[in-house]
Structure 1
């Protein structure tokens, strides 16, 4: 029987077996004052950057009760967002004005993907959907083998979707017919989540809970290369968890990915050759900017690695065990959300904390988006908000 490790940011760790959830001593008891994983209390900072809210709207019940990370997506002056209870909205990026909204009457667990005039969503009961981005009309719905926890992606010929049972599916773009399926053979224990597949021309790149990143031919599903991000080590199944669940980042033909209890790596996507690696333990993923690769470690440390692999630019350890999400570059800053819904603004130059605001007291799990000096935050409660960042006057 395969058990599952469910993670709420980095604070909750449960093992699910048939019939319930059991607590692992030393991982779940976060109320113990002596627990080293106790989230640090926030200290006052000197705010040199302020966040002005430009607009706010609600999208259904947000992330719902399934610990999802349903991400909005932007394109052609619009932002598209979906909620766990099946509401999908298209909004003007500049004003937040509603263009259309639909109720799919299906529980959504993965989304939103965008290609051209098509949106892609995944349902918790094992469906992938393609919608018309202009109206929200469902163009097709295809059954897959399990829950879809990340945005499906398309390239006009193929739609790829990763399911929580460790499989990657290639579907026909026009009809939704299944073209191929790859089975990664999941470990006994995994963290709840999957990374978002990346389509690079006719190649699809996906990461798995066995610590591997794999490149496939998108049309046929044939494996082109495989790279190890982490190797399972230790006696217990918990010690051997090496999921690559967070968002990966691309720059040209260079891919950046991070694993839990493993490494952050740089991979040449033409060959699958690993260019460099550095120790890290992360479930939220990586981003890049200013010549850096940014990672939030599970212990709450934000690290800027030199993109060349020649070491670290800086580290910021003032946010210990606060369940940090993926760092999001915005203008010359780095935005990082925590489990209490605070967004911390760091300098990309030296990692100093220069601002803080709280868009959603229910927390922020979904990746944030940015465009210039505007940050878009989709909170767990369903609040989708746009904030303009600027320096404070002295």
Structure 2
């Protein structure tokens, strides 16, 4: 079911899954998926190459995305396959299987979910088994691994010689990128009910910015984890714990001297990065990452509606509701287009100026789940079934 990936955690032990079908049984679809848009595509992007990178993620929740560094692109599957490919033609350079490691011996699989991040000649990944890995970009050798108290479902943040992960239990942990030695940890109290997803931390200006389940963006010193400031994005409101969920699960976006953040059941807000002063706020709800250019912020909201808002004042520039409840990915900006994928494996190209769908094409029936990766004139996107596609700009 297309909404089964929006998992919830109740307390510390009970996991629920929000599905299109009733949570309590029956076949009625409470959030019907919009029919496939009927449009005349203006073009179809050429597929430069496609390649299998393992078994993909199946029906599980995951935020796995490929990473590009130099002439190679790196991708992973949930079971533990990590693959390096030549970015120009998709040829495999090396492959390793993290499920073979002793740390996963008594587990169902490696359950990789957070990553891939390439930096310092290494690849960094995290897993639902509570393991953080550093691999050699050159040959895939495991350079170090560390266990953490909780699942790592978001990509690590890497910078200034440190690797920072945020677990689903609300713990922020920093490691030395070279040795894997833990340097500090910071734990936040969690609300009774939270979304399954977690935002990737952001390293900037000697600090770590991270989304919290209580509707705030936390800021801590990268050197020692000392909390600096909290920026409120949303206040819990409503009669039930479900209504009061205000998780900030979209990666905080830093553009210029401003910080942009959005919360589930909350709002989109802009603040000055250094002072924390509020610039503007608008009512939107999302758990997906945002995209930005010089003038606009583009979001996919929790109903798979797409919006562009003016970075200066938060005024809405355009909206598109044609893909409602199609589990649309986070957006990326690619030339003249905003590009997103959906649960049925379609890729959509929206005019970045007015939000109209200019073209669509089906890539993989297993579905598209994570925002594409853009590098130059090429767009890379990974499917649930483990296919990695490289598409050329139209």
TM-score using structure 1 length: 0.90
- Deviation of 1:318 after TM superposition, in Å, equals 1.1
* Aligned mates of 1:104, 1:22 — CA distance in 2: 27
Partners of 1:359 and 1:377 within 8 A in 2? no
Of the three residues 49, 55, 78, the one matched with 1:61 is 55
Q: How does 1:2-17 map to 2 (within 5 A)?
A: 9=3
Structure 1 residues without counterparts, runs of 5 or longer: 1-6
Q: Alpha carbons of 1:198 and 1:24: their partners in 2 closer, same or farther (altered >3 Å)? A: closer
Checking the alignment, whether the CA contact within 8 Å between 1:9 and 1:324 is kept in structure 2 is no
Kept in 2: contact 1:257–1:285 (CA 8 A) = no
TM-aligned CA deviation for residue 93 of structure 1: 1.8
Counterparts of 1:230 and 1:19, CA distance in 2: 25
Q: Does 1:93 align with 2:97?
A: no
Give the equivalent residue in structure 2 for 1:32: 28
Where 2:369 maps in the other structure, the secondary structure is: coil
> 3-state DSSP class of the match of 1:280?
coil
Deviation, structure 1 residue 77: 2.5
Matches within 5 A, 1:1-394: 9=3, 21=16, 28=23, 32=28, 35=30, 37-105=31-99, 106-289=110-293, 291-390=295-394
Map Cα deviations across residues 235-266 of structure 1 (whole Å, 9 max, x no partner).
10000001111233322332222111111122
Displacement of 1:20 = 6.9
Unaligned runs of 5+ in 2: 100-109
Q: CA deviation at 1:373?
A: 3.5
Greater shift after overlay, 105-114 or 379-388? 105-114
Query: Contact 1:244 / 1:283 at 8 angstroms: preserved in 2?
Result: yes
**1:214-244 deviation digits (Å, cap 9, x = unpaired):** 1111110011221011111011000000111
Q: Secondary structure at the match of 1:164?
A: coil
What SS class does the counterpart of residue 190 from structure 1 fall into? strand
Report the TM-score when normalising by structure 2. 0.90
- Alpha-carbon RMSD across the aligned residues, in angstroms, is 2.3
Report which stretch shifted further, 221-230 or 94-103: 94-103
1:125 aligns to what SS in structure 2?
coil
Counting matched residue pairs gives: 382
Secondary structure of the residue that 1:362 maps to in structure 2? Answer: coil
The structural deviation recorded for 1:304 is: 0.3
Mean alpha-carbon deviation: is it higher for 322-331 or for 272-281? 272-281
